[in-house]
Amino acid sequence: MHLTLRQLRVFESVARNLSYTRAAEELHLSQPAVSMQIKQLEENLGLPLFEQLGKKVFLTEAGTEMYHYSRTVDQQLNEAEAVLEDLKGLRRGRLVIAVASTANYFVPRLFAEFNKRHEGLSLSLDVTNRAGLISHLDANDTDMVIMGLPPAGKELDAEAFLHNPLVIIAASDHPLVSQSSIPMKSLRKETFIMREQGSGTRISMQRVFKDRGLELRADMEMSSNEAIKQAVEAGLGLGIVSLHTLQLELAAGCLAVLDVQDFPVMRHWYMVNHKSKRLSPVARAFREFVLAEADSLIQSPLAVGSTL
Ligand code: PGA
């Protein structure tokens, strides 16, 4: 069946009005133009759609069938237009974000604030480590990724939007808690509980130690910040985590941030996309919102009373 949307629209108008003249007025066309479109449509379909008795226009059986379908097509197109308008106006939309497990300590707060301003949006959040985030970027299956260590060698846009201070933590009764300005070298003999392979926190810390000619042994490995904090609190060793993960523990006084020279190591959080990614309206709005407001919305745990 070869027919054009224009023919269908002209047909729908003539069939609804049962008048070529009224259809021409409605569509701002001349009457011969309307007749021509209908004639071509009838030729394409191989059946007459109208019959004219005197001045009266009637739908044929084929015309009646066609009218039913043309109205459905019209309704669907109107609906599509309304949905696209809603998307443009951020009245609906779905945001698919993947975030580093460490960033999950503040991203829900950002989304909650964004959601207050644009009700009706939905969110899908995958929380994974850096290695998982790189897989998301390769699969192009999220609107954006929030990570602390964007990979090199890929065509990415990575914009820093928030500080990410890394600190060394100990149980609050650890002997090092009372010391100040502890040299990194003197931590050589301490047991460190490290994040798993593939974690951005772990890679960053290894670099910091290596740059100072020190080896950071992974005596114990755990795959979440929560597990590390529990282990440190239980006295298994020292931990290295982002300050963003410590809000509750510092407030409760069950963990302490050690005063180690060169710490906190100041890193950043980045919003990351492929350079050629075409962001949806809601993703673009979220990106702009985070870049503009994350700094003021996310309170630094330092303000809550760490020992730094
Ligand atoms: P992660 O965090 O350690 O949870 O992968 C990312 C990062 O801090 O780079």
Q: What is the pLDDT of residues 243-280, one digit of tens each?
A: 999 988 988 999 999 999 999 999 999 999 999 888 88
> Separation of 306 CA from ligand 1 center, angstroms?
21
Tokens 């699969």, located at residue: 139
The pLDDT of residue 306 is: 38
Question: Cβ atoms within 10 A of the Cβ of 198, count?
Answer: 15
In degrees, rounded to 5, the angle at the alpha carbon of residue 112 between the alpha carbons of residues 111 and 114 is 60
Cβ of 100 less than 6 Å from ligand 1: yes
In degrees, rounded to 5, the angle at the alpha carbon of residue 27 between the alpha carbons of residues 26 and 33 is 120
Cα separation, 305 vs 308, in Å, equals: 8
Tokens 């030729």, located at residue: 43
Tokens 């407001």, located at residue: 293
Report the Cα 67 to chain-centroid distance in Å.
43
Cα separation, 45 vs 7, in Å, equals: 11
> Separation of 199 CA from ligand 1 center, angstroms?
5
CA separation, residue 8 to residues 39, 144, 156, 209, 258 (Å): 12, 40, 45, 71, 74
pLDDT mean over 127-138: 93
Cα separation, 273 vs 98, in Å, equals: 11
Please give the number of the atom of ligand 1 that sits closest to the Cα of 166: 8
Instruction: Characterize the bridge pairing of strands 93-100 and 144-147.
Output: parallel
Three-state SS for 247? helix
Mutate to test the pocket of ligand 1, among 199, 223, 228 (most ligand atoms within 8 A of CB): 199
pLDDT mean over 188-209: 91
The pLDDT of residue 300 is: 60
Does residue 304 carry a pLDDT above 50?
Answer: no
Please give the number of the atom of ligand 1 that sits closest to the Cα of 267: 8
Cβ of 148 less than 6 Å from ligand 1: yes
Asked if 52 contacts 20 with a C-beta cutoff of 8 angstroms, the reply is no
Helix axis angle, 61-88 to 5-17, nearest 10°: 120
The pLDDT of residue 123 is: 87
Question: Cβ atoms within 10 A of the Cβ of 74, count?
Answer: 16
Tokens of 155: 């065509």
CA separation, residue 104 to residues 19, 97, 227, 251 (Å): 63, 11, 15, 19
Alpha helices in 89-170 (DSSP H): 107-117, 130-139
What sign for the dihedral angle of Cα 119, 289, 106, 150?
positive
Q: Which residues, including other chains, have CB under 8 Å from residue 128's CB and lie 6 or more apart?
A: 98, 99, 100, 101, 136
Does residue 308 carry a pLDDT above 80?
Answer: no
Three-state SS for 94? strand
pLDDT mean over 32-46: 96
Cis peptide before 281, with omega less than 30 degrees from 0?
Answer: no
Instruction: State the number of CA atoms in the 13 A half-sphere of 302 facing the CB.
Output: 13
Mean residue pLDDT across the chain? 91
**Confidence band, pLDDT 50/70/90 cuts, at residue 302:** low
